[in-house]
Amino acid sequence: MDDPWSLSTLRVASNHRSSEDIAAVMRMPSDYSPRRAKRVNPPWTADVPTNRSGRLGEKLPDIERYLRDGADALESLADCDIDLRTTWGPLSPRDRIMLSSAFLGLLARLRCWFILDTSISKWTPDSPDDDGESDETWWRPTLRVDNAQYSAAQIEALVGQPSATPPDQPWSVEIPTEGVMRLVDSFPQVNAYLRERVDVLVSIPDGRITLAIDWLPRVPQDGITLDLDLLAVLDRLRCTVTLDTHIEE
């Protein structure tokens, strides 16, 4: 398996602003200039300056700092479509990234979609006939609330759902997702689940809320998207998101 790597790109697109106009606001030129424009206003794009090699989790503070440095300019471009796209080669057999509540709140404030694509290669010289592709995938989204003032039983009574963990552990439940083939397609159900309980969850003082997702990505590529609706809910909950990838050898 290849060493872990990642590449993050910030993109700003608009039907009424040119790439040059956006570049003037961002005070830097676009990193990509298409030889032949495929649209009237091609998007402005910039690679986030991080090393390509290494684990993505170690680079997230630098990505957040880059966004904060450009926050004023990006907020003035609120009438544009903004997204942060990260392509990621996770470490095998397991890797983890943690999206802090501060990072998710920043994305919500900037109205910036977060698109995370995995790129996994399983081809080896010992198995040249194997094309390294697999549609096998699974995921398990879990909501956890950790609070020193409230027991799991008290949180259970507030939320109206029993915890899946022992009484001495933080309240935790698996969020049900049905009838979809990919993790990204389950996010509307996750969003709806959180929205139905958001008022109760935010009423818990000093509650540390985590959306923990275990995921076997499809090979060679898979991906997820945190859209503005989901980001808004996560921000209101001050929720941290952890994503654990599982890659079969």
What is the structure's pLDDT at 82? 98
Q: What is the pLDDT of residues 168-227, one digit of tens each?
A: 899 999 999 999 999 999 999 999 999 999 999 999 988 899 999 999 999 999 999 999
Residues in Cβ contact with 3 at an 8 Å cutoff, skipping those fewer than 6 apart = 53, 89, 91
What is the structure's pLDDT at 133? 75
Block residue for tokens 């009838």:
179
What is the structure's pLDDT at 125? 45
Sign of CA dihedral 218, 2, 86, 23: negative
What is the structure's pLDDT at 123? 46
What is the structure's pLDDT at 134? 82
Please give the Cα distance from 16 to 167 (Å, whole number). 56
What is the structure's pLDDT at 38? 59
What is the structure's pLDDT at 124? 45
Distance set, CA 178 to CA 25, 77, 95, 182, 209 (Å): 43, 37, 25, 10, 23
What is the structure's pLDDT at 35? 59
pLDDT in tens, the chain (249 residues): 468 899 999 999 999 999 999 999 999 999 987 655 555 689 999 999 999 999 999 999 999 999 999 999 999 999 999 999 999 999 989 999 999 999 999 999 999 999 999 999 754 444 444 556 788 999 999 999 999 888 899 999 999 999 999 988 999 999 999 999 999 999 999 999 999 999 999 999 888 999 999 999 999 999 999 999 999 999 999 999 999 999 976
